[in-house]
Structure 1
Amino acid sequence: MLELLTVISLTVVVAVVPGPDFAVVLRNSLVGGRMAGLMTALGIALALGVHVTYALAGIGLIVSQSILLFNALKLIGAAYLVFLGVTMYGTASRDLPAEGTTSTISPLKALRWGFFTNVTNPKATMFAMSVFLQVTSPQTPLWTQIGYGVIMAGGVFLWFVLVTMVSTLAPVRQAFMRMKLWMERTFGVLLTLIGIGIAATTSSSRP
């Protein structure tokens, strides 16, 4: 249960913090409408599935090598979460989503945009690996780990569906942009605290 709650918490925190995925979903929603936004969200979820696959494949190798290596990489994952949180806080006022210049976006094109925006982002790969290193152990069944991956991809998809629905309502856009600074700083702090907590307990834990 603790593993599940951790996966859900990290997924929520990372999903709602504006970044490249958020920018492309918002842009495509505003330019191409709800269908474009929904297909972009689907592309991101599919790409996250690729990252999850990498993470699952890597865990078996890590565990088979040594406990020391497992814990070392776990610390690296925790350090990444701290780095990501600090970076989010420090750059909270930058990188507002850009307005689009075209009038329509085909569903297939929107799907490709979402997929390649996420799958080419090394931070997404590192985040997926970090989550699995923090919340799973060699005793965690493979199907349970796959379930965590589905939760991650599904949670991100549902969030971006909500973003699409809201962002296509014109009066809401300005209010949403005004919350961007607060949201980035708040979740930057949360990610940093999660990373510190993980690092503090790693030395006493065994995979």
Structure 2
Amino acid sequence: MHTLLAIAALHLVVLVIPGPDVLLVSQTAIARSRRAAVLAGLGVVGGIACWAALALLGINVLFQHFAWIHGVIRVAGGLYLLWMAYGLWQSSRSAQAHAQVQAPLGDLRALRSGFLTNIANPKAAVFFGSVFSSVLPAHSSASLKLGAFAVIVLLSLSWFALVALGMSTARLQAIYLQARRRIDQIAGGIMAAFGLLLLSSRE
């Protein structure tokens, strides 16, 4: 139980720190719809689940022996975040930029955007690998590993559901309508910064 609590505490700290995942779900919630934000959040959780599972299976060892794989994922992820930033900037320049909430986002597209935003960052695997190696006993049972995986997924689901529901209120959407151009520019700038940081990283 102490091991699972330690993993939960570490993961919760990382979850609440604003990053591209939180930015994507928040921006989708205020600019699109609650449904789209929830689906984007589910996509993010899907990415988290993949990285956590791969870390438990030892993907960090693969990264250590084949650094180029980590590099390819990192560059692809950075370019994807820059592409998303470009989309936000284009949205801010739209002639209808302040007229209405953006067009509905298809379910599959919302889910995919969340998944790709998270899976684009291989540092997630490094994080989970370091957490598991430092907290899980060397010869952990399958049930303990499954418990750790479940804790990570459930915490992630709860957090991104909270973000999606909290950021999609009518009041926040009204504020967005009044300042859509500026908000999209700022969101695009932050997303671009995340992309550039990922591209410039050597770890």
TM-score bin, normalised by smaller chain: 0.5 to 0.7
**Residue in structure 1 matched with residue 113 of structure 2 by the alignment:** 113
Q: 1:6: Cα distance to partner?
A: 0.6
Worse overlay, 157-166 or 146-155: 146-155
Q: 1:152 to 1:125 in 2, by over 3 A?
A: same
Distance in 1 between residues matched to 2:153 and 2:142, nearest whole Å? 17
Query: RMSD of the TM alignment (CA)?
Result: 2.7
**Residue in structure 1 matched with residue 38 of structure 2 by the alignment:** 38
Distance in 2 between residues matched to 1:172 and 1:163, nearest whole Å? 12
Show the 5 A alignment for 1:28-107. 28-58=28-58, 101=91, 102-107=102-107
**Residue in structure 1 matched with residue 143 of structure 2 by the alignment:** 143
CA contact (8 A) 2:4 2:151 kept: no
Offset from partner CA, 1:109-167 (integer Å, 9 cap, x none): 01000001001112211111121112101232122112211211221121010011110
**Residue in structure 1 matched with residue 168 of structure 2 by the alignment:** 168
* Unaligned stretches of 5+ residues in structure 2: 63-84, 92-101, 176-182, 184-203
Distance in 2 between residues matched to 1:20 and 1:141, nearest whole Å? 34
Distance in 2 between residues matched to 1:61 and 1:27, nearest whole Å? 35
Q: 1:8: Cα distance to partner?
A: 1.0
The answer to whether 1:153 aligns with 2:150 is no
Q: 1:172: Cα distance to partner?
A: 5.3
The answer to whether 1:4 aligns with 2:21 is no
Offset from partner CA, 1:30-64 (integer Å, 9 cap, x none): 222111111111111111111112111118979xx
CA contact (8 A) 1:37 1:110 kept: yes
Distance in 2 between residues matched to 1:152 and 1:116, nearest whole Å? 18
Q: Tell me the TM-score normalised to structure 1 length.
A: 0.61
Runs of 4+ in 1 over 3 A off after TM superposition: 59-62, 98-102, 170-174
**Residue in structure 2 matched with residue 185 of structure 1 by the alignment:** none
Q: 1:170: Cα distance to partner?
A: 4.2
- Give the total of aligned pairs: 141
CA contact (8 A) 1:31 1:105 kept: no
What is the identity percentage for the equivalent residue pairs of Structure 1 and Structure 2?
30
Offset from partner CA, 1:82-107 (integer Å, 9 cap, x none): xxxxxxxxxxxxx9xx6893421111
SS in 1 for 2:133: helix
**Residue in structure 2 matched with residue 199 of structure 1 by the alignment:** none
Q: Tell me the TM-score normalised to structure 2 length.
A: 0.62
Distance in 2 between residues matched to 1:24 and 1:159, nearest whole Å? 14
**Residue in structure 1 matched with residue 13 of structure 2 by the alignment:** 13
CA contact (8 A) 2:47 2:119 kept: yes
* Unaligned stretches of 5+ residues in structure 1: 63-94, 178-207
